[in-house]
């Protein structure tokens, strides 16, 4: 219709379409409706070439959207890019600033930052990243992109400071990615000591096998290799004095560096094996030992290969009941390690001793509780007896005292005695 019909007819159709505003203010009902406005604006800009009417279409659409409930970053960014195409940067920035003030959203921040990067306004990018992190400080992706921007600009110290601020936060959505990005950044700078320090700090927080394997691979690759370009005139003069060939020196140096790296990596595997020896998740240790075995068979000697073979686990298939007695059984695989199996008798003895000590403490506590109950019951019985005595005394006090016999009582008594004698 846009190609065949006239501009007025097409506008009329678009106007009739956008007049059907969704009655329910929920985002899912507005998605297709917003695309009508976008197509309408693009038609006015590209086909009708009416720039002022295009601006009015964007403005009117933005007024219709209930931004307090939901918004669409796409319409804000399209409107801003339209203003940039008209070389009105101030209007575009005002528009995006209004968007962030009314309805801050990740897509809006990222779109605004990308526009400023394309315009090479890096100071504005820094301010936007700071606002973005105030709005969403737990977002690791934002921290990483901010640090990457500083790194691309050659601001190594600023990038390192951003990473430090990020990893010291308690609440992060993906901390493992942030730590990895920071370590990769230091590796790109060829700063091996800082990278090692970061690995150790990360291991203080988690002992996961992925961290250990990454550290072992890092130590294997952290080489200070020497090339012919690294030798200056002074080094060449020294080689002439000692009658040493340049290529021989470089080869010996690099071989020595490789041997040191292999030994450092082996120590990491040994340390990791000790750290994961008693972990509940045995799969982690299995994964570590498999990687260690591959490492030794590639870089190790026959002795180190035999040593690591002795540590390899064995698979044991066991069965367990599913739920209650009516349910069936399932098979599962359990790993047994030679070094931990050798310690099992001692562990059983220690476990039994701990259980015996716990039982004795329970018995002692129960006896003390019974003794306390007996003493409390005896005290209660004594109190009850005292209360009964008091009540008995009160009853005696309430009895009517005997009165002295009167003359009539004595006369009646004498008559009764005379009657008994006559009988």
What residues does each domain of the chain span?
137-202, 207-226+247-321+329-342
Residue 67 gets which letter from DSSP?
Answer: T
- Count CB neighbours of 72 within 10 A: 24
Q: Out of 145-149, 187-191, 239-243, 291-295, which region has the weakest mean confidence (pLDDT)?
A: 239-243
> Which are the contacts of 246, defined by CB distance < 8 A and separation ≥ 6?
228, 231, 236, 239
**Token pair belonging to 384:** 């009850």
Read off the pLDDT of residues 219-259 as tens digits, 9 standing for 90 and up. Answer: 999 887 777 666 655 655 555 555 556 677 778 878 888 99
Return the higher-pLDDT residue of 282 and 247.
282
Identify whether the C-beta of residue 236 lies closer than 8 Å to the C-beta of residue 246: yes
In this predicted structure, the answer to whether residue 406 has a pLDDT above a threshold of 70 is: no
27-69 pLDDT, tens digit each: 999 999 999 999 999 999 999 999 999 999 999 999 999 998 9
- Angstrom distance (rounded) from CA 189 to CA 391: 95
- Rg over alpha carbons for the chain, rounded to the nearest Å, is 45
* Helices 192-205 and 209-221: angle between axes, nearest 10 degrees: 170
Using the predicted structure, report yes or no on whether residue 161 has a pLDDT greater than 90.
yes
pLDDT higher for 403 or 39? 39
């Amino acid at each position: 219709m846009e190609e065949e019909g006239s501009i007025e007819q097409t506008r009329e159709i678009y106007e009739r379409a956008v007049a059907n505003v969704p009655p329910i203010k929920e985002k899912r009902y507005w998605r297709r409706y917003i695309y009508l406005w976008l197509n309408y604006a693009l038609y006015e800009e590209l086909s009708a070439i009416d720039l002022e009417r295009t601006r009015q279409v964007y403005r009117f659409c933005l007024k219709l959207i209930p931004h307090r409930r939901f918004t669409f970053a796409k319409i804000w960014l399209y409107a801003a890019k339209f203003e940039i195409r008209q070389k009105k940067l101030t209007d575009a920035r005002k528009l995006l600033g209004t968007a962030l003030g009314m309805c801050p959203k990740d897509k809006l921040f990222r779109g605004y930052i990308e526009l400023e990067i394309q315009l090479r306004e890096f100071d504005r990018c820094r301010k936007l990243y700071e606002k973005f992190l105030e709005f969403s400080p737990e977002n690791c992706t934002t921290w990483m992109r901010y640090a990457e921007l500083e790194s691309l600009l050659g601001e190594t110290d600023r990038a390192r400071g951003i990473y430090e601020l990020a990893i010291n936060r308690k609440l992060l959505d993906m901390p493992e990615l942030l730590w990895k990005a920071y370590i990769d950044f230091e590796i790109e700078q060829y700063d091996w000591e800082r990278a090692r320090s970061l690995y150790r700090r990360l291991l203080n927080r988690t002992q996961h096998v992925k961290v250990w394997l990454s550290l072992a691979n890092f130590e294997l690759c952290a080489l200070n290799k020497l090339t012919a370009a690294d030798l200056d005139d002074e080094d060449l003069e020294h080689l002439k004095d000692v009658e040493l060939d340049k290529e021989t020196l470089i080869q010996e140096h690099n071989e020595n560096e490789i041997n040191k790296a292999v030994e450092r990596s082996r120590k990491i595997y040994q340390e990791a094996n000790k750290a994961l020896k008693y972990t509940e998740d045995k799969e982690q240790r299995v994964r570590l030992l498999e990687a260690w075995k591959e490492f030794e068979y590639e870089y190790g000697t026959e002795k180190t290969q035999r040593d690591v073979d002795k540590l390899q686990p064995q698979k044991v298939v066991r069965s367990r009941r599913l739920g209650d007695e009516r349910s069936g059984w399932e098979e599962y695989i359990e790993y047994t390690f030679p070094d931990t199996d050798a310690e099992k008798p001692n562990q059983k003895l220690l476990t039994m001793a701990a259980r015996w000590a716990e039982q004795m403490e329970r018995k002692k506590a129960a006896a003390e509780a019974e003794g306390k109950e007996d003493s409390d019951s005896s005290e209660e019985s004594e109190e009850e007896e005292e209360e009964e005595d008091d009540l008995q005394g009160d009853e005696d006090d309430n009895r009517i005292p005997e009165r002295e016999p009167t003359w009539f009582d004595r006369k009646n008594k004498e008559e009764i005695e005379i009657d008994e004698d006559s009988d």
